[in-house]
Amino acid sequence: MDSHLVQRILFLNPWLRGDVTPSQFVASHTPEQYVQRFLEQSRLDEPIVGKHKVRLLIGPRQAGKSTLAWRMFQNSGRHPLFLLCEDMLIRSWCSEAIPFLRDLKELLPEPVPLFFEEAQHLPEAGLFLKGIVDLGHAGEIMVTGSSSFHLQARTRESLAGRSTRHRLLPFSLEETAASAASLPPALTMEERRGQLARHLTFGGYPEVWSSATPERVLWDLIEALILRDASDLFQVRYPDAFRRLLKLLAFDTGNLLNMSNLAQGCGVNRKTVQNYLDILEDTHIIRRILPFQDGKRSEVTRTPKCYFVDNGIRNVLLGQTSEPDILERPDTGAVVENWLLSELLKNLPSRWTVHYWRSTSKAEMDFVLSDGQLVMAVEVKAGRLTRPAVSRSARSFLDAYAPSILFVVNQSLDTAIMVQDRPVRFVPLEAAIPAILEHGGIKATIGL
């Protein structure tokens, strides 16, 4: 092995030369103040059998993927060979499976787990990992990546039958408020209300959540996306147009995407805008949701809506990060709607889909949730309600689809009524996700 490469591996893995014990090495990567993550526990606990040796942790940069991976190693009592794929020497070593495994046997005669961090930097991550699995001499393989285009999409075919994939997004309210779950119910809700404003304003990125200067951290994240991911990974030709697109999407959150207007506003063609939207979704910055349809001619059937995966990114792009006034802003409706969508993405299991509904007569339902059998409708009312009232649009949806329940998410009202023989639950913001999960039979178990 190249001596410089060996020194780099020893630097990343001081347990190899006995500077620390393996358990100390793993513990050094896990923060003392750890927020437990809500992830599908059953999938994380699946034993490694046969060739299913690769675990892919996909999500936006700095969402906590590495911390979760180290926590999994710590809980299992195992220690990995840690390889940072951003490093040029490591990246070069991880280009071909056979030379890599030959060197690995020389370095470690007995197989150990392998941990490839930021694997989207590998030129052919999928083929390389497939070769390691097929040729053997490796234990479990943990892989993190911030770009699903460079990691998930490119490994889908080559790792078919060899991997499990998990998506990790920034902290949800369910995660940050979990420590209050043992308190009396009234105090638990009070704690959730206290955290809600920060989630609505600054989102849930781990570093943002713990920072005294969250706005600065959010700007750093945006610049990293534009200057590193967009320019280096995706080779975006017009970074200024890319930046303008982000701001236009922030202004237009929750509305139908108008590609012509976006192209004109950015000074590029529609194809370029489509490419940039794909990049933003692949890097987990935005999420486009499609219309719910059931073969009715009166439905909007193609045009997506666009939301930000994290409220903080949206708000800082607009220069509106005043936490005390978050529910009194002119765009409070968009703030609340975007936050609820992000919480649904973070908490719903992968089998559930999230759509919106809109008829050609402009009747709307903000979110339609379905697992293929159960259908739940969610209407967002950003203001304070004093009495239960159901909109004409909601009545149209109830009449057309008879969902199992309609949730009306608002700031204050907590009650239930029947409308057109269907249950309608008015639920405050801080209690919305637990109510939705409970009705859907989804066990909100805090994971690792």
The pLDDT tens digits for 271-286 are: 999 999 998 998 889 9
pLDDT at 422 over 90: yes
Main-chain dihedrals φ then ψ at residue 113, nearest 5 degrees = -60, 150
When divided into structural domains, the chain yields a total of 2
Do 368 and 234 belong together in one domain? Answer: yes
Whether 311 maps to a domain, the answer reads yes
Q: How confident is the model at residue 44 (pLDDT cuts 50, 70, 90)?
A: low
Confidence at residue 225, expressed as pLDDT on a 0 to 100 scale:
77
Q: How confident is the model at residue 403 (pLDDT cuts 50, 70, 90)?
A: very high
For residue 403, the one-letter residue type is: P
Whether 220 maps to a domain, the answer reads yes
Residue of 335, 409, 333, 331 lying closest to 369 (CA atoms):
409
Do 185 and 110 belong together in one domain? Answer: no
Mean pLDDT of the region 151-166: 64
Instruction: Write down which residue in 134, 167, 200 finishes a domain.
Output: 167
For residue 280, the one-letter residue type is: L
Do 227 and 199 belong together in one domain? Answer: yes
Whether 227 maps to a domain, the answer reads yes
pLDDT at 160 over 80: no
Q: What is the rounded (10 degree) CA torsion for 152, 156, 158, 160? A: 130
Whether 448 maps to a domain, the answer reads no
Which residue would you say has higher pLDDT here, 377 or 121? 377
Mean pLDDT of the region 120-145: 85
For residue 115 the two structure tokens come to 């941990």
Residue of 141, 135, 191, 196 lying closest to 163 (CA atoms):
141
Q: What is the CA radius of gyration of the chain?
A: 23
For residue 135 the two structure tokens come to 């040729």
Do 187 and 153 belong together in one domain? Answer: no
Confidence at residue 52, expressed as pLDDT on a 0 to 100 scale:
53
DSSP string, 302-347: S--EEEES-HHHHHHHHT---GGGGGGSTTHHHHHHHHHHHHHHHH
Q: Is the pTM of this model over 0.85?
A: yes
Q: How confident is the model at residue 190 (pLDDT cuts 50, 70, 90)?
A: confident
Q: Rounded distance, CA 88 to CA 85, Å?
A: 7
Mean pLDDT of the region 17-33: 91
Do 194 and 322 belong together in one domain? Answer: yes
pLDDT at 207 over 90: yes
- Hey, how many other C-beta atoms are within 10 angstroms of the C-beta on 96? 14
Do 157 and 247 belong together in one domain? Answer: no
Do 255 and 123 belong together in one domain? Answer: no
pLDDT at 93 over 60: yes
Do 339 and 433 belong together in one domain? Answer: yes
pLDDT at 162 over 80: no
Whether 401 maps to a domain, the answer reads yes
Whether 215 maps to a domain, the answer reads yes
Mean pLDDT of the region 341-355: 93
Do 221 and 74 belong together in one domain? Answer: no
Instruction: Write down which residue in 111, 145, 167 finishes a domain.
Output: 167
% of the chain at pLDDT higher than 90: 56
Residue of 29, 2, 33 lying closest to 14 (CA atoms):
29
Q: Exposed, middle or buried: residue 257 (CB in 10 Å: 0-12, 13-18, 19+)?
A: middle
Main-chain dihedrals φ then ψ at residue 423, nearest 5 degrees = -70, 135
Q: How confident is the model at residue 123 (pLDDT cuts 50, 70, 90)?
A: confident
Residue 117 forms beta bridges with which residues?
Answer: 84
Q: Looking at residue 154, which CATH number applies to its domain?
A: 3.40.50
Whether 333 maps to a domain, the answer reads yes
Q: Which residue has the tokens 């907590």?
A: 414
Which residue would you say has higher pLDDT here, 180 or 107? 107
Do 153 and 188 belong together in one domain? Answer: no
pLDDT at 148 over 50: yes
Whether 444 maps to a domain, the answer reads no
Mean pLDDT is lowest, of 190-194, 261-265, 364-368, 394-398, for 190-194
Q: Rounded distance, CA 413 to CA 428, Å?
A: 6
Q: How confident is the model at residue 157 (pLDDT cuts 50, 70, 90)?
A: low
Do 270 and 142 belong together in one domain? Answer: no
Q: How confident is the model at residue 152 (pLDDT cuts 50, 70, 90)?
A: very low
Mean pLDDT estimate for the chain: 87
pLDDT at 188 over 90: no
Supply the range of the domain harboring residue 127. Answer: 3-167
Instruction: Write down which residue in 145, 167, 189 finishes a domain.
Output: 167
Residue 272 forms beta bridges with which residues?
Answer: none
Mean pLDDT of the region 35-63: 72
Q: Looking at residue 279, which CATH number applies to its domain?
A: 1.10.10.10
Give the chain's largest Cα–Cα span.
Answer: 74
Do 12 and 82 belong together in one domain? Answer: yes
Which residue would you say has higher pLDDT here, 133 or 294? 133
pLDDT at 16 over 50: yes
